[in-house]
Amino acid sequence: MSNWFKVAIEQKYITSFEYDSFQNWEEIGRGGSDISDPTGITLQVINGKREIPVNGTPVDFMNIYCDAWNGDPNLRPSIVKIRDKLKNMRMTMLMIASKIQI
């Protein structure tokens, strides 16, 4: 486990389950680990900074994403709830400006 993840788990910013899920997402979604400054990323996440959604991302997907990144791990939906929401998601498209952050 990377040191920055260990600190984030110990400080209860993320759960160990989220760590495992993130690792899987990183490997699948990005084709491998490519984090040049993991400490900087951790601090940004702790301070509430998140990725900017890509133009055309479905509104319901953005809502799921925001819920999953709630600052309080106890308020984040379970993977079962996320799966159920994804199954029922409407594919309404929302164009967003590249400067908007959620």
* Same structural domain, 68 and 92: yes
* Same structural domain, 40 and 25: yes
| Confidence at residue 78, expressed as pLDDT on a 0 to 100 scale | 92
* Same structural domain, 41 and 70: no
Domain total for the chain?
A: 2
* Same structural domain, 14 and 37: yes
The DSSP output letter for 93 is B
pLDDT along the chain (102 residues), means of 10: 61 58 54 62 80 79 87 90 81 48 50
* Same structural domain, 37 and 12: yes
Domain that holds residue 20: 1-49
Q: Are 13 and 43 in contact (CB under 8 A)?
A: no
| Confidence at residue 54, expressed as pLDDT on a 0 to 100 scale | 78
* Same structural domain, 25 and 6: yes
| Confidence at residue 22, expressed as pLDDT on a 0 to 100 scale | 58
| Confidence at residue 65, expressed as pLDDT on a 0 to 100 scale | 87
Complete DSSP assignment for 45-80: HHTT--PPPPTT-BHHHHHHHHHHT-SSGGGSPPHH
* Same structural domain, 57 and 35: no
Q: pTM surpassing 0.75?
A: no
| Confidence at residue 14, expressed as pLDDT on a 0 to 100 scale | 59
